[in-house]
Amino acid sequence: MRTSLMTTRRVILNFLAALILVPALAMPASAITKVEAETLINKLSVEILSIINSGKSEKSMFRDFEKMFGKFADVPTIARSSLGVARRSASASQMRSYQKAFAGYISRKYGKRFREFIGSTITVIKSRKTKRGYLVTSKVRFVGSPPFIVEWQVSDASGKDKMFDLIIEGISMLQLERAEIGQMLDRRGGDVNKLIKHLKKA
């Protein structure tokens, strides 16, 4: 039972990390306020749980999560980051195709497990100002599992309030999906087109 709960926790953490994966680059000073940062995370939490508890089919849930991905995350930046150094040689057309394929892949990948999270809660408990914006702390509770703390880095450096990192027990989850996409690309000899084709079917 414990193994199952740990697997469930990792799946949701990986999904959340995927939503906010961006490069760890210097960002301009942020004007976002404490209230705005906490409001963003509260809205995201409500939307995640609403989709999970909607009772919709998996296919419908995938569409809803993809819309949410576009709403709360800087998708072009996320796609560039997840592709790593390969983005430097990718054409504009390839990057557009990759961005679309990646967004769909992430939604399907984690959407397949979301029924396990029915009844869960995400509660914002505090936040503090950082050089890049605000670090919002929330408590996540799964049914049948002890609660744990998740911290969200939020900024408006992209022009809108967005998340750009997720920290669990002091460890940044920024690189999880980037590492996995990198492995997929390596297995395809660094061919971005083959990676795009794979992500569309995965």
173 is written with which tokens? 């989850």
pLDDT in tens, 4-27: 556 666 666 666 666 656 554 445
* pLDDT at residue 58 in the model: 85
Q: Mean pLDDT over residues 161-171, rounded?
A: 80
* pLDDT at residue 24 in the model: 47
Q: Domain map of the chain by residue range?
A: 2-201
Q: Where do we find the tokens 């809660």?
A: 121
* pLDDT at residue 36 in the model: 95
- Please answer whether residues 13 and 150 qualify as being in contact, where contact means their C-beta atoms are separated by less than 8 angstroms: yes
pLDDT in tens, 39-60: 999 999 999 899 988 988 888 9
pLDDT in tens, 109-122: 877 777 777 888 99
Q: Given pLDDT bands bounded at 50, 70 and 90, which one contains residue 124? A: very high
Task: Report CA dihedral (113, 117, 121, 126) to the nearest 10 degrees.
Answer: -30
Q: Given pLDDT bands bounded at 50, 70 and 90, which one contains residue 194? A: very high
What is the model's pTM?
A: 0.78
CATH of domain 2-201: 3.10.450.710
When mean pLDDT is compared over 137-146, 153-162, 184-193, the highest value belongs to: 184-193
Q: Is the per-residue pLDDT at 2 higher than 60? A: no
120: Cα separation from own chain's centroid = 18
Q: Which residues contact 31 (CB under 8 A, 6 or more apart)?
A: 156
